[in-house]
Amino acid sequence: MKARILFPVIIGVLVLAVAGYSLRNVFGNRGDFVISGIIEADDIHVGSKVGGRVLKVVVKEGQAVKAGETLVLLEPTELNAALAGAQASLRQADAKYALLNAGYRKEEIEQAEAAVRQAQAELDQLVSGPRQQEIAQAAADWQAAKAQADNARKFLGRMEDLAKRDLIAKQEYDDALTKADEAEQKMKSVRERYDLVLAGTRKEEVERARQRWAEADAKRRQLRAGFRQEEITQAKSEMEAARARLEQIQSQLDETVIKTPVDALVEALDLQPGDLVGAGKPVATLLRTGSLWVRAYLPEARLGAVQPGLKVKVRVDSFPDKNFAGAVRRIHRQGEFTPRNIQTHEERVLQVFQVEVVIDDADHVLRPGMNADVTIGKP
């Protein structure tokens, strides 16, 4: 009899429990609820692309810094030397490009044109041959030289006769002999020139004169045309390469001054002057200020009540009477803290989803690591 009464009672209790659970899922999710978490800040790891030896540590751990403020200085000696060399190379390349691009100087072109005119005059003279006046002059010179030679021989004959009779000194005879020989050689030389003038210009001389004119004319045309475009293009490429090298070294030199990219709090900075830091290795950890956020966990049953952008209220223990405005930034898609295989309703309530809530802390009173309660109202 008792068993008959007890069984319906148990059934009724189970029905009420199931109904209550269903009503809680339907209506309970519509009110405000609170999730708890911890305030965090975005970490920034700063370093240098080039690395080097620490020259000076400007800030300390826990210090607040502004965007662009220097944190650490590295020794720039080697890069300064490389920069000076790159600047000199760029100046040289610039000068070469300017020279080629401007072409030859006016004085050089005028000099080349004068050389062409001179070569042309020499060629014309050789082609036309000697003038009648030149032939006559050469003949006259030969006749005069011949007369001088004859006179010298006659004088030598008289001196020889006197010398045989010991009427003059031997030196006087030797001087007469020398003068006679010189007059004879001069006469022969003048005669050869006269023969050349009569024969006219040889073909070999005319051809050499033409070659000299052609070389002078080619030089003139080269100077007028300026430098080749290939040379100018090469000089421009060398100039651009030198400028790129300079910019690269300047960029490396800038990396010896390690700065903070944003307003932040120095979380970790354990360096001393003389320490070596590697290229691309973090030297300091910064906490970005003005971008605090709460890492909290949302139960699966409340997942439908929260969307990114939803406005919320945040409270911390340090300021229990103050509400901080916040907004949901992100809801992770992967659940956490749950059994590997969910089979029942009771197990599914253990599943949570990480939520990131950005806090508006205009007075900068909050700190990373504080516990926080996030009140979520109706969407």
The pLDDT tens digits for 115-154 are 888 888 877 776 666 666 677 787 788 788 888 888 888 8
Burial class (CB in 10 A: 0-12, 13-18, 19+), 180: buried
DSSP 362: T
Architecture of the domain whose range is 29-44+288-376: Beta Barrel (2.40)
The Cα 36–Cα 298 span in angstroms is 9
Q: Provide the CA 255 distance to its chain's centre, in angstroms.
A: 15
Bridge partners, 353 (sequence order): 298, 335
Q: Could you read off the pLDDT of 242-287 as tens digits, one per residue?
A: 999 999 999 999 999 999 999 888 989 999 999 999 999 999 999 8
Q: What is the pTM of this model?
A: 0.54
Residue 235 CA to residue 94 CA, distance in Å, equals 8
pLDDT, tens digit, for every residue of 326-366?
A: 999 888 887 776 544 444 444 445 678 889 999 988 887 88
What is the four-CA torsion angle of 65, 69, 75, 76, rounded to 10 degrees?
A: 170
Residues near 294 by Cβ (< 8 Å), separated by ≥ 6? 37, 38, 39, 40, 314, 326, 356, 357, 359, 372, 374
Topology, domain 46-76+254-286: OB fold (Dihydrolipoamide Acetyltransferase, E2P) (2.40.50)
